[in-house]
Structure 1
Amino acid sequence: MAELLRIYDENPAPKHINKVVEVLKKGGLIIYPTDTIYGLGCDITNNSALEKIARIKKVKLEKANFSFVCEDLSNLSDYVKQIDTTTFKILKRCLPGPYTFILPGGNNLPSVFKKKKTVGIRVPDNSICQAIVKALGNPIISTSIRDEDEVLEYSTDPELIREKWDNLVDLVIDGGYGDNVASTVIDLTTPEPEVIREGKGSLEIM
């Protein structure tokens, strides 16, 4: 049964953040707030947790398009190939923010993602999310929790999310109501930035 843990966005309590990290390090799955929709995530270094998420999403892990949620751009080189100045300027301008950037995968990807040519990188503008990744010491995997109801598309109420995901995850973070618009996805592996999905992030800053 999933625990519902209230964490305040303005000043996330370290004891609550540490509790989340404990769950992640044990291979647990969490649902957490971002600057867009609520996400389903786990520790990127825990293969059994990654497999669990892949099963939930009904995809093969090695083919899954999960995003890597990072605290900032400092450890980007751990997961992506060397990027040019133009690309870095775009990332610097847009992150933290409601964007997912597709970048060329590097040589240090976790073993299950070794064959992936590209990775999606997220740095959400959300203090809870950033605090979790910082305390964990490495990125978390992120994927959206889509709703079968086409009218809703994304669930926004943490209590309702907990009810629905109760038997699938270990912890649901209540960081207040979420958004119902996903991130804007931009491919930066092409000669010109290519918008894959228009979402919350404005395209004007491109």
Structure 2
Amino acid sequence: MKQEDDIKQAIETMRKGGVILYPTDTVWGIGCDATNAEAVKRVYEIKQREDSKALICLVDSDARMQRYFRNVPDVAWQLIDSLKEATDAKPTTLILDGAINLAPNLIAEDGSLGIRITNEPFSKELCFRFQKAIVSTSANISGEPAAQNYCDIDPRILEAVDYVCWSRRQEHKPHTPSSIIKLKENGEVTVIRK
């Protein structure tokens, strides 16, 4: 299947409220429309994860990220700019306060949300074409290891989703989860995962 057709199928599935499995800039992810509370609820069910543990989102650009927060602090823009300049930068998820315009069950109790701008070609194009944030949580049952490659995905997850992307299924190489950095509006920075 051509990547373009794969992306079309994934988008069509998410527009109908479905859940997809897709390759990201880190590990394989379970995804859905980040504005659809029913779809988000299904992702929690598939992962067998408490909904008090927040999920993260992927977007394709700074401009798209800005739509989902009341205010993006200056320190976040500085970090994003420095990540763009670093050719070997590890994918980095930012947790920011004041999340808006998303499914309420996606936003943490304190009003924060983890978001990452992806530069990996498949997930970036998927986010760009979908025109909205896409949920991105590791394709595993909660508490089990993240699926680095397609071949690592638990059959229960493969059966539970509505569409499994074809792109990058043959890949066999190490992938690691993103770094996670929490940024407060007052400029306070906390590294959650290196």
Q: TM-score range by the shorter chain?
A: 0.7 to 0.9
Whole-Å separation in 2 of the counterparts to 1:157 and 1:109? 28
What is the alpha-carbon distance in structure 2 between the residues aligned to residue 182 and residue 86 of structure 1?
Answer: 22
Q: 1:157 to 1:91 in 2, by over 3 A?
A: closer
Q: Unaligned stretches of 5+ in structure 1?
A: 1-5, 8-12, 199-206
1:168 Cα shift? 1.0
State whether structure 2 residue 11 is matched by structure 1 residue 18.
no
Corresponding position: 1:195 with 2:191: yes
Pick from 117, 134, 139: which aligns with 1:140?
Answer: 134
SS of residue matched to 2:54: coil
Q: Is the 8 A contact 1:45 1:110 kept in 2?
A: yes
Counterpart AA for 2:83: C
Matches within 5 A, 1:43-192: 43-61=33-51, 63-94=52-83, 98-113=91-106, 116-146=110-140, 153-161=145-153, 163-173=155-165, 174-175=167-168, 176-177=171-172, 179-189=174-184, 191-192=187-188
Stretch moving more, 138-147 or 21-30: 138-147
After superposition, the Cα gap between the structure-2 partners of 1:116 and 1:26, relative to the gap in structure 1 and judged at 3 Å, is: farther
Is the Cα–Cα contact under 8 Å of residues 37 and 178 in structure 1 kept in the other structure?
no
> Is contact 1:44–1:110 with CA below 8 Å preserved after alignment?
yes
- The letter of the residue matching 2:120 is N
User: Structure 2: which amino acid aligns with 1:144?
Assistant: S
- Over the matched positions of the two proteins, sequence identity in percent amounts to 25
1:19 Cα shift?
1.2
Question: 1:151-191 CA distances to partner (integer Å, 9 max, x unpaired)?
Answer: xx232332452745232112222413364311000111164
Cα pair distance change 1:49/1:33, threshold 3 Å: same
For 1:30 and 1:129, the matched residues in 2 are separated by 12
Alpha-carbon distance, 1:89 to partner? 1.3
**Which ranges of structure 2 fall in alignment gaps of 5 or more residues?**
none
Deviation of residue 197 (structure 1)?
0.8
Offset at residue 38 of structure 1 (A): 0.9
1:41 partnered with 2:27: no
The secondary structure found in structure 2 opposite 1:125 is: coil
CA drift of 1:34 comes to 1.3
TM-score (norm 2): 0.81
In structure 2, what residue type is equivalent to 1:126?
A: E
